[in-house]
Amino acid sequence: MSKIKNVAVVGGTHGNEFSGIYLLKKWQSTPQSLVRESFSVETVFANPKAFDENKRYVDHDLNRQFGLHDLANFELASYEQSRAKALNEQIGPKGNAKSDFIIDLHNTTSNMGPSLILLQSDQFNRQLGAYVKEKMPDAVVVFEDHTSVDDHLFVCSIAKQGVIIEVGPQPQSVIRQDVLDWMEDMTGHILDFVHLYNTNEIPVLADSYDAYRYEETLKLPVDEQGERIGMVHKSVQDNDFEPLNPGDPIFTLFDGTEIFWEGDYVAYPHFINEAAYYDNNLAMSLGKKIVVSTK
């Protein structure tokens, strides 16, 4: 992979996820904390209107609008669909982007701690995960490399390389110092790694490390009319990245009936009971634990 010359740090993709937004404000007033000698950094406030209205989004989830077909379809003209096209013009275009690397900053209401989501499993990303975990032992690395970057709908997929920082638990429209500190620290370590990569100075890293690979998303129990009839089981709630074995309880219906995990693998739930996903009745994502080689 060629050297990374231009990095975009994006905050406020969702208008009520405040850590990234307020870090952008801080960095815009004190940009020296983002400066590295081997590349330039641009800060991007993705969804200012949603922030002004204290909403996740105005019309559509902005972080699902960056498919190549949708970006080329100018009949898709809601606020977020238009905003996606503007961002694609600013830091893209996707497939031939001015930005070589995008860091997209997100909060989650789930108990995921400082999580780094990687869209590719090439050596650069595998080593980036190892470096972040070395600097932040509590960090969690999740690979969502089940599809090509071109097929991803996320803002960070505009560039050839992009990652998502996902930190929680933090309620929507709230700032927690520990969560903000995690996000700032992880962003700094990622920028440090990019500089080390550019200068051929990546230090000796662990040969391997534990991470997770996204497998599937589960929905909450609903009836034939689509009405919710249950909730995440109390033994699963807040236990992001803890093992869920086949036969373990996973949901409790409102009448007290327990529903058990019927999968054929040990799952590691995350994004458990994420508040932003309630409009889709999504309960959690499931991953498998993997060992990642840095070689």
- Which residues on adjacent β-strands are paired with residue 141? 116
Q: For 87, left (φ over 0), alpha (ψ -120 to 50), or beta?
A: alpha
Nearest C-alpha neighbor of 228 from the set 282, 284, 285, 269? 282
- Quickly list H helices, the chain: 18-29, 48-52, 68-72, 79-91, 123-135, 177-198
Determine whether the annotation assigns residue 146 to a binding site.
no
Nearest C-alpha neighbor of 165 from the set 145, 185, 151? 185
What tokens does 26 get? 């801080």
* Residue numbers annotated as active site: 166
Residue pair 40/9 in contact by the 8 Å Cβ criterion: no
Residue 272: Cβ within 10 Å count: 23
Determine whether the annotation assigns residue 258 to a binding site.
no
Determine whether the annotation assigns residue 106 to a binding site.
yes
Binding residues: 14, 17, 106
Binding-site entries for Zn(2+)? 14, 17, 106
